[in-house]
Amino acid sequence: MGKTHLLIIEDEANLQKVIQRFFEMAGHQVTLAADGQEGLVKFENSPDIDLVLADIRLPKMDGLEVLGEIKKRDSSVQVILMTGYSEKEFAIQALRLGADDYVEKPFQLEDLSHIVQRALGRRRVQAFSARWLGFLENLPLGFAWCDDDGTVQGITHDTEELLGTLEMTLVSQPIFEAPGCKTLQSWFADGSPPRSSRCELEIGERWLSVFCTRFSPPKSPSQTLLCFSDVTEQKSMELELLRITREIEGRVDERTQSLKTALDFSDRLLDTTGVLIAYFPSDGKPSRWNKFSQKLSGYSERELQESEPCSLLSARENEHLEKVFQPAKEKDISDYVASIRTKRGEIRTLKWQTNRFRQRKKIVGHLVLGIDITDQKHLEAELQKYTTHLEEMVEERTTELRDKDVQLIHSARLASLGEMAAGIIHEMKQPLNGISITADLIRLLQKRGQLTDEALLGHMEMMKSMVDRMSKIINHLRGFCHIDSSNFSAVKLSMVIDGAFSILGEQLRLHQIEVVREIPDDIPDIRGEPNQIEQVLVNLIQNARDAMDELGEKHQLDGGVPDGWKKVLTIRVGTTPDGKTAFIEVSDTGGGMSPEVQSRLFEPFFTTKETGHGTGLGLSISASIMQSHQGEIQAKTKEGVGSTFRMILPVATVEIRNPEAHREIP
């Protein structure tokens, strides 16, 4: 028998090649096609194809269409469809349309081989059946009738053709003298042929079946009628059927042995696994407990089988083992935790799961699985205690860090005040000088007798205004130096800017820095801690001042200030297009920054200032403050032109998540 011819229709090239190699190694001839139309063309051009293996999802023509066209052309060709898990409904539809089988992707090559071998076996049986029907429909028959001694009295032309005696006359000759008919002599040896008998004759390459019967013609002695039929094809088919039967029996034996091996392995696996496994048939009596269940419970398999498991293993009244061993019929259970009491009196905690077995929609039994989690529960309890202890330590450490962060911000603010001391002193000296001069004037007028009540009142009002000015500066400084509260509130950016300039304004004037303010009236409030926001702004203004002073000194060393250049500090306020954030920009006309400096701007302790003139923490702390407000600082710079720093903050209408947590410096 020649090779079986398979047609594989699959559009995934890698899978196509794997299947081709597998079946070619098994001795099959394989033809490949990448789409439905190509597959149909190759089928029509190869009349010897025995089986088609096609994917349901194919380009140009899907698997169902290919199935229909192939079955129209040759219904005996076996068609197996490959389908994905989610396409099972298509597979069922395909079976209704005439598909011989289907296989779900992903599949094992061994499983695919079994399905293909089963289909090829069906094809051979179908071919044999068709051949047998054709044999019966065209069975050649011939007749001869003889005397009791075997002498031929008459013979049909078909008999002579079957016996190969067309060129000789058998009439009046003993039938058993015909070529190959010696066996028939036993029927006529004693002159009394049997009433009914049958034998087979091998004549050359032919096999003939001969049937004899006695009959009595009217007014004539009884004769023997011989019926000859050519059973050569039948013999061939019997041999083919025998070969097919032995092949099927061999596969059945192989499969039986494979299943026996698998069952033995399953039994060993059940007995070596560290999980309690029990099987209950539909009558509710346990038929199998694995070895681990016996080891865990301390009971023998016989004790477990002969006892009611709920009463035998129950550990606590409030843990209902009947849910496990006598589960409700409507659903399985999963991850149910209940304890058992072992024969040794030990309490073990297990996580249970049950799975029902159904046959024709009827429950025929259920499987019980129990995982021992006693040690796990003990570890979980210890872990919970350790976790609680760690959480307390983390909370304690977090509180310490929060306090240190607040102190760090406060220290940075005080350091800023130290740097601004000269400007603040100068700011305070002006009203103090005014008060001193006014007091001298009052004394002089009184000495001359020219001090009127009206003049005294006017001078006193002037002195009060100067005192108020100093009081305002002092109060703002006290607020600026105060340790921050933990509550965020609505803050007006204009007030933050005014506060910063109340501290730095005089200092900027002394440094000959022109201040430009671009502050619209309709800027929404932001939400935050005002002192911290002002601290960031003060730091940015101080950096801008230092950058412009440094460039001014450089110009002086280089021979003078270029025409048109001057120190200008621009404060610009606005909102982003989406209206969710507001910003304050601080721009200067300093020397800008190099890319290397810009890349390290917010690193702690990084500074470009001389030793003793900066800690390198200002921008780092400022960035942390902005992060705690769910904002950020952006920087744009160009060497020789200047820098712009933008503080971005959410407006008061945007909720700040957990403001207390966001106060912390990351």
Average pLDDT over residues 139-165: 83
> Of 618, 373, 649, which Cα lies nearest the Cα of 492?
649
C-alpha dist (Å) from residue 369 to 6, 321, 332, 333, 343: 44, 13, 12, 10, 19
Q: Please tell me whether residue 512 adopts helix, strand or coil conformation.
A: coil
Specify if 241 maps to a domain.
Answer: no
So what's the pLDDT on residue 582?
92
User: Could you give the dihedral angle defined by the CA atoms of residues 400, 404, 406 and 410, in that order, rounded to the nearest 10 degrees?
Assistant: 160
Average pLDDT over residues 507-529: 87
Specify if 352 maps to a domain.
Answer: yes
Q: Do 155 and 68 belong together in one domain? A: no
Whether pLDDT at 221 is above 70: yes
Specify if 416 maps to a domain.
Answer: no
What the block records as the tokens of 123 is: 């094809």
Specify if 500 maps to a domain.
Answer: yes
The predicted-structure confidence for 604-647, as pLDDT tens digits, reads as follows 666 776 655 555 666 777 888 888 888 899 889 888 889 999 99
User: Which position has the higher pLDDT, 239 or 481?
Assistant: 239
Specify if 121 maps to a domain.
Answer: yes
Q: How many domains does the chain have?
A: 4
Whether pLDDT at 158 is above 50: yes
C-alpha dist (Å) from residue 6 to 33, 118, 372: 11, 14, 51
Domain range for 310: 273-372
So what's the pLDDT on residue 454?
81
The pTM assigned to this predicted structure is 0.36
521 with 483: CB under 8 angstroms?
no
Half-sphere exposure in the Cβ direction for 396 (13 Å, CA): 6
Sequence-distant (6+) residues with CB within 8 A of 274 are: 292, 372
Whether pLDDT at 288 is above 90: no
Q: Do 359 and 309 belong together in one domain? A: yes
Q: Do 86 and 211 belong together in one domain? A: no
Q: Which of 78, 112, 137 is where one domain is finished?
A: 137
Specify if 561 maps to a domain.
Answer: yes
Which amino acid, residue 216?
S
> Of 100, 127, 132, 129, which Cα lies nearest the Cα of 115?
100
Q: Do 508 and 657 belong together in one domain? A: yes
The predicted-structure confidence for 38-56, as pLDDT tens digits, reads as follows 989 999 898 889 999 988 8
The predicted-structure confidence for 293-339, as pLDDT tens digits, reads as follows 888 888 988 888 888 888 788 877 656 777 788 765 557 888 888 88
Neighbours of 297 (CB within 10 A): 23
Whether pLDDT at 114 is above 90: no
Q: Do 9 and 127 belong together in one domain? A: yes
Sequence-distant (6+) residues with CB within 8 A of 296 are: 276, 340, 342, 348, 372
Q: Do 78 and 220 belong together in one domain? A: no
Look over the chain and give the mean of its residue pLDDT values, rounded to a whole number: 80
The predicted-structure confidence for 559-591, as pLDDT tens digits, reads as follows 777 878 889 999 999 998 888 899 999 999 988
Q: Which of 372, 390, 420 is where one domain is finished?
A: 372
Between CA 92 and CA 599 the distance in angstroms is 65
Q: Do 183 and 122 belong together in one domain? A: no
So what's the pLDDT on residue 596?
82
Specify if 383 maps to a domain.
Answer: no
Q: Which of 353, 372, 391 is where one domain is finished?
A: 372
Whether pLDDT at 164 is above 70: yes
Q: Do 518 and 649 belong together in one domain? A: yes
Q: Do 145 and 89 belong together in one domain? A: no
Q: What are phi and psi of 639, to 5 degrees?
A: -60, 135
CATH number of the domain that residue 322 is part of: 3.30.450.20
The predicted-structure confidence for 596-608, as pLDDT tens digits, reads as follows 887 787 776 667 7
